[in-house]
Amino acid sequence: AFMASKARVQILNGPVGGGKTATNFMKAIRFGCAQRPSRGRTINIGDGERPVRKFKLAVIRDTYRQLHKTTIPSWHKRFPPNAGEWTGAMDAPCRHRLHFLLKDDTVVDFTAEFAAIGDNSVEDFMRGFEPTAWYLNELDLLSRDVFTYAKGRWGRFPDMSEGGPSWFGILADCNAPELES
């Protein structure tokens, strides 16, 4: 049901080790593949110009330590750094740009931007982001303001001059609460 949903906000709750992170990553890839091609834009992946489907996912964690310890290794299990263009370093933002050729001869231009809020104010941290969608990893560990600001900054990629995104929103996960909480 989660994979089939097209709701603007989707939060997957479950046990530790239940596959929530991997599922959200694959859901984002699915949304990237389903984007409408950008108007007036093409991309050359080595064999000529093709229509392009653009998608940018902002992956957010509470700290860079946790981002590099858990979230990025989960991403790399599915998309190794040598696939596409990987940039970034430990304790800093990272970016992974991938291209997927689809059966209809369109190319998905998928960018995942990994960042952590750390000691920054939520407003200052989120001000520069212009993603198609957010992935708020371990949502229960993030300030409520992160969710609020994300809703105000989703759907900004691709630009409206290219037709804008056909789906935009928030993907998130959190662990099940303790029964006594």
How do the pLDDT tens digits run along the chain, 181 residues long? 899 999 999 999 988 888 999 999 999 999 999 999 999 999 998 889 999 999 999 999 999 999 999 999 999 999 999 999 999 988 899 999 999 999 999 999 999 999 999 888 999 999 889 999 999 999 999 999 999 999 999 999 999 999 999 999 999 999 877 777 6
SS3 per-residue string spanning 107-124: EEEEEEEEEECCCCCHHH
For residue 130, which phi and psi values (nearest 5 degrees)?
-140, 65
Strands in 121-167 per DSSP E = 133-136
How many other CB atoms are there within 10 angstroms of residue 32's CB atom?
24
Retrieve residue 28's tokens. Answer: 């984002």
pTM confidence score:
0.94
Query: Which contiguous run of DSSP H or E holds residue 86?
Result: strand 85-88
Spatial neighbors of 54 by CB under 8 A, at least 6 apart, are 35, 38, 41, 109, 132, 157, 158, 162, 165
User: Per residue in 13-27, is it b (16+ CB within 10 Å) or e — as a string?
Assistant: eeeeeeebbebbbeb
Within a 10 A sphere around the Cβ of 144, how many other Cβ atoms?
9
